[in-house]
A and B are shown apart, each in its own frame.
Chain A
Amino acid sequence: MLATAVIVFRETLEAALVVSIIMAASYGVVHRGLWVWSGVAAGALGACVVALFAGAITTAVEGIGQELLNASILILAVLMLGWHSVWMAHHGRELAREMGEVGHAVAAGHQPLYALAIAAGMALLREGSETVLFLYGIASSGDGGLMHLLVGGLLGGAAGVIFGLLLYRGLLIIPMRHLFAVTNVMILLLTAGLAAQAAGFLVQADLIPSLGGPVWDTSHVLSEDSLVGKVLHSLIGYQSRPEGIQVLCYAIVLSTLTLLTFLTGSRTKTR
Chain B
Amino acid sequence: MPNFRSLVRLFAAAGAAIWLLGASMPSANAQESYTLTIHDDRFEPASLDVKAGTKFKLVVKNARKVAAEFESHDINREKVIPAGRSVTINVGPLKAGSYAIFDDFHKSTKGHIVAK
Chain B residues with Cβ below 8 Å from A3 are 106-108
Binary interface encoding of chain A residues 2-29 relative to chain B, with 1 for a CB under 8 A from any of its CBs, else 0 = 0100110000000000000000000000
In the bound complex, residues from chain B placing their C-beta under 8 Å from that of A86 are 1-2, 7
Q: Mark B51-93, 1 if CB is under 8 A from A, else 0.
A: 0000100000000111101000110110111110101111000
Contact partner, A7, options B11, B73, B104, Cβ 8 Å? B104
Number of interface residues, chain B, beta carbon within 8 A = 38
Q: Tell me which residues across on chain B come within 8 A of A207, comparing CB atoms.
A: 19, 22
A141 near B65: Cβ-Cβ < 8 Å: yes
| Count of inter-chain pairs, beta carbons less than 8 A | 106
A128 within 8 A of B: no
Residues of B near A134 (CB, < 8 A) are 67, 69, 105
Q: A103 within 8 Å of B by Cβ? A: no
Those of A186-219 within 8 Å (CB) of chain B: 199-200, 203-209, 213-214, 219
* Residue A66 CB within 8 A of the other chain: yes
User: Bound state CA distance, A200 and B77, in angstroms?
Assistant: 8
A206 (CB) vs chain B CBs: closest residue: B90
Evaluate contact between B83 and A137: CB separation under 8 angstroms.
yes
Q: Nearest Cβ in chain A — how far from B94, in angstroms?
A: 10
Contacts of B19 in A (CB 8 A): 207-208
Going nearest first, the 4 A-B pairs with the smallest beta carbon separation are A137-B66, A206-B90, A133-B67, A208-B22
Residues of B at under 8 Å CB distance from A?
Answer: 1-2, 4, 7-8, 10-11, 14, 18-19, 21-22, 25, 55, 64-67, 69, 73-74, 76-77, 79-83, 85, 87-90, 104-108
